[in-house]
Every structure is written in C-alpha cells, then in structure tokens.
C-alpha cells in the first residue's frame, strides 16, 4: 500500500472563508489612502482570478484605470502592507470560522505525527494570523512547512509553490494530498503531481474543478456529512486520515 506521507493545505477559502475579509481589508485600505476605489463582491470574484494581493492591485490598476492610478502604482507595496495589517486585525477578532472538518483533520494529523504543510499565495503574516486564530498561539509550529507569498517566482496556477513545499518536506508527490478551493490552486497542485481534494468556497463556486481528484462540498464532520460532488469517492461522508490513506493508495 502506498503510504500517506503529508497533507498540504491552501489557506484562503480552504481553511476558512477568508476572502470576504480580504475584500473588506482592501476596501478599508483604499479609503485610508484616499482612493475612491471599492471592490464589490462581483468585481472581487473576477479579481481573484489573479493570485497574490500585490498582483491583484496592479491588475486592477492596469485594466480598470481607476481614479488615482498614477499615484497608486508606485505605492502598491505600501497598499498591500496596510491591507495585510487590516486583514490580520479582522482575523484576530475571530471573524473567520474554519470550514467544516478542517480543525478535526489538522488535529488528527498533528496528533498522529503526520506532516502537514501550507502552500498558498497569501503572505506568511496572513497565514500565521489565521492559524493562530483557529488553533491558538504558536499554531504555525504544527506545520512542517509553510510555503507562502513570494517564496517562489511564479504563483498559482504555476506549480512552483507546491514543488517548493514537496522539496522542503522531502516527500514524494504521489504520497501526498493537497486541499484546495479554486481553479488556480487545483491546477498548481496537479501540475506538481499531487492528488487534490477540492472544496469550492464562496468566491470560487463557479470555478472549473474538473482537474481535481475529488470534489466535495467540504471535509464534513461525523455528525455533519459533506456532499459528494464529483471525482473519487470516500467511503465515509467526512474526510479523515484513514480515508485519505485509501485515497492515496488508489493512485
């Protein structure tokens, strides 16, 4: 039987429905910088096709040319740093709830000694803020690898961040499972050779998940079944380590 060697988690939309908090943090940052910009939910869904906060701001400036663009383009790093701080403040108020099954599965892996990792385009500060909000102080120490932000030159859907995580973990892609909530994330993990459990989120519900190995509504709980959508099935109606071991063994 092929052993399960590691679990690798995306962050935003996968661990928790955080994208709405990001949108709010962007908008409050724009106001603080006297920019008459407002990203509504429809626009933000479109902007999320671009991974990375700084890249998203630049994309917006280049394609929408909003008022104040000429001055803002030179302040993208400042804008993003302020937005990161404002997002962390929202997370610290416990305004992001873990998605079903996430805390249970991470805790099960941690307690059994199975390596767990993060692979995300968001900044390390955002990752730490969310993990501590969900799991408590020093929660980041539970994770063998945190691959985040600008650690690699190309962000998702490029496979770079997953390949970097695999190298640091020292494991074979075929012995891992990735958890993602978006088209870009699924493409990134699959190009790195990793099986993917996709759980579409609020902002990614209309994405194309056809390349995911399994598509579920969420990871589920023993008393709160998830909904099977497509792809490979699990025997239970919630995802646990035993089910993931069988998932990997199926190849």
Residues serving a catalytic function are 10, 12
For 156, the token pair is 């998702």
Q: Count of alpha carbons within 13 Å of 141, Cβ hemisphere only?
A: 3
CA angle at 45 for the pair 60 and 70, rounded to the nearest 5°:
10
Radius of gyration of the CA atoms of the chain, in A? 18
Burial class (CB in 10 A: 0-12, 13-18, 19+), 241: middle
| Dihedral sign computed on CA atoms, order 65, 66, 68, 72 | negative
| Dihedral sign computed on CA atoms, order 91, 205, 164, 80 | negative
Cα–Cα distance between 46 and 197 in angstroms, integer?
23
Please name the residue that has the structure tokens 């700084």.
Answer: 54
Q: How far apart are the first and last CA of the chain?
A: 10
Cα–Cα distance between 46 and 48 in angstroms, integer?
5
Query: In 155-239, which ranges are E strands?
Result: 176-180, 195-198, 214-216, 228-231
């Amino acid at each position: 039987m092929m052993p399960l060697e590691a679990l690798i988690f995306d962050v935003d939309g996968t661990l928790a429905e955080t994208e709405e908090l990001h949108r709010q943090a962007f908008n409050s940052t724009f106001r603080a910088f006297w920019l008459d910009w407002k990203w509504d939910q429809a626009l933000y869904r479109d902007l999320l096709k671009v991974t990375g906060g700084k890249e998203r701001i630049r994309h917006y400036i280049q394609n929408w040319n909003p008022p104040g663009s000429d001055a803002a383009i030179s302040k993208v790093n400042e804008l993003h740093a302020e937005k990161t701080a404002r997002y962390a403040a929202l997370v610290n108020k416990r305004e992001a709830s873990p998605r079903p099954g996430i805390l249970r599965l991470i805790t099960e892996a941690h307690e059994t000694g199975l390596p767990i990792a993060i692979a995300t385009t968001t900044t390390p500060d955002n990752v730490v803020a969310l993990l501590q909000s969900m799991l408590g102080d020093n929660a980041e120490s539970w994770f063998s690898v945190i691959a985040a932000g600008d650690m690699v030159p190309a962000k998702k859907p490029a496979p770079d961040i997953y390949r970097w995580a695999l190298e640091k973990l020292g494991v074979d892609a075929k012995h891992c499972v990735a958890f993602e909530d978006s088209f870009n994330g699924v493409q990134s993990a699959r190009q790195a050779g990793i099986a993917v459990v996709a759980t579409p989120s609020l902002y990614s519900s209309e994405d194309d998940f056809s390349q995911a190995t399994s598509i579920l509504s969420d990871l589920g709980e023993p008393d709160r079944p998830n909904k099977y959508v497509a792809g490979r099935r699990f025997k239970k109606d919630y995802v646990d380590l035993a089910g993931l071991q069988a998932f990997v063994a199926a190849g």
